[in-house]
Amino acid sequence: MPWQFIFKVVVTVAVIIVVAEIAKRSSFWGAVIASLPLTSLLAFVWLYADTGNTQQVAGLARGIFWLVLASLPLFALLPALLGAGWHFWPSLLASCVVTVGAYFALVWLLPRVGIQL
C-alpha cells in the first residue's frame, strides 16, 4: 500500500514541475498545460483505482464542474492587479481572498438553486 501512495505523490509532483518548467520557457505553453484538467484527471484515476466506485468519480466530476467557476476570479484578478502595478505577493493574496469568497458564495448559492454537490 505505501508504494501506491508514493507513486501518486511522484506522478502528481512531476506534473506540477513539468508545468512550472515549461512556463519558464513559454508562458503560453505553460498556460496551455496548466489549463488542462490534469489534477482532476489524476484525482479521477486515483479515486477509481482506490475505490472502483464510478459514482464517487461522477460526484467528484460534478463538483469540480461547478466549483471551477469559483476559481475563475483568481485568473482574472491576478493579471489585472499585476498589470496595474501591484507587487506579486499582495496581488496573489488579494486574488486568493477574492477566490475564497467566491467559493463560499458558490457553495452557499448552489443548493439554493437546486444543485447538490
- In this prediction, residue 44 carries a pLDDT of 95
Quote the domain boundaries for residue 95: 55-117
Residue 30 lies in a domain: no
Residue 40 lies in a domain: no
- In this prediction, residue 1 carries a pLDDT of 61
Number of domains in the chain: 1
78 closest CA partner among 27, 38, 42:
27
**Per-residue cell: 82:** 499585476
Residue 74 lies in a domain: yes
Residue 11 lies in a domain: no
Distance (Å, whole) CA 62 – CA 55: 10
- In this prediction, residue 95 carries a pLDDT of 98
- In this prediction, residue 12 carries a pLDDT of 82
Report yes or no on whether pTM surpasses 0.85.
no
Split the chain (117 residues) into runs of 10 and give each run's mean pLDDT. Answer: 83 87 91 84 92 96 94 96 98 98 96 92
**Per-residue cell: 54:** 464510478
Residue 24 lies in a domain: no
Distance (Å, whole) CA 87 – CA 89: 6
Residue 42 lies in a domain: no
